[in-house]
Amino acid sequence: MRKLSMDELNRKSTDEFKKAEKLPIVIVLDNVRSMNNVGSVFRSADAFLVEAIYLCGVTATPPHREIQKTALGATETVNWKHFETTLEAVHSLKNEGYKVYAVEQAEQSIMLNKFISDSAKIALVFGNEITGVEQTVIDVCDACIEIPQYGTKHSLNISVSVGIVVWEVAKAFYLRV
């Protein structure tokens, strides 16, 4: 076994990334306070060719040094928009035909390992590091997706949650093709 060189990884250039067909997934950040988390979400969105990130409320926006530390340039490739409120973003997405799912521990949530969507376009809402997704946002979502957890904490860092959920949803899209 040999580690691959950077040349062997066949990484897309910024132009190639921008022209590439994206997964019809939008990541929505509901008042995420940590700029390191925001940067990590950009990096995951780039890795999975996600369509866009919607930054809502107090969520910081690029350009910012603290975001760049973890994004490593992904703010230059991934499309993003800022909305004053998460509700505004969710209503916009629904008007564009997206099914919107909050990633949250809630009554009647769908466990991620059981999640199947018939929608061609999906938006995933991830919440604040302390309070999670606001209840008013959950109220207008189509459903909640929950990551099964078996330890004592029952919470994950938001950037970890994004990586896990987007990977699982992306696999389903790739299997449809």
Task: Encode pLDDT of 85-102 as tens digits.
Answer: 999 999 999 999 999 999
Report which of 155, 129, 125 is spatially closest to residue 141, judged by C-alpha positions. 125
Domains in the chain with CATH codes: 21-176 (3.40.1280.10)
Find the range with the poorest average confidence among 7-11, 23-27, 171-175: 171-175
This prediction has a pTM of 0.95
For the chain, give the percent of residues with pLDDT over 70.
98
Instruction: Return d(Cα 160, Cα 130) in angstroms, integer.
Output: 15
Beta strands in the chain (DSSP E): 23-30, 50-56, 79-83, 99-103, 110-111, 122-126, 143-146
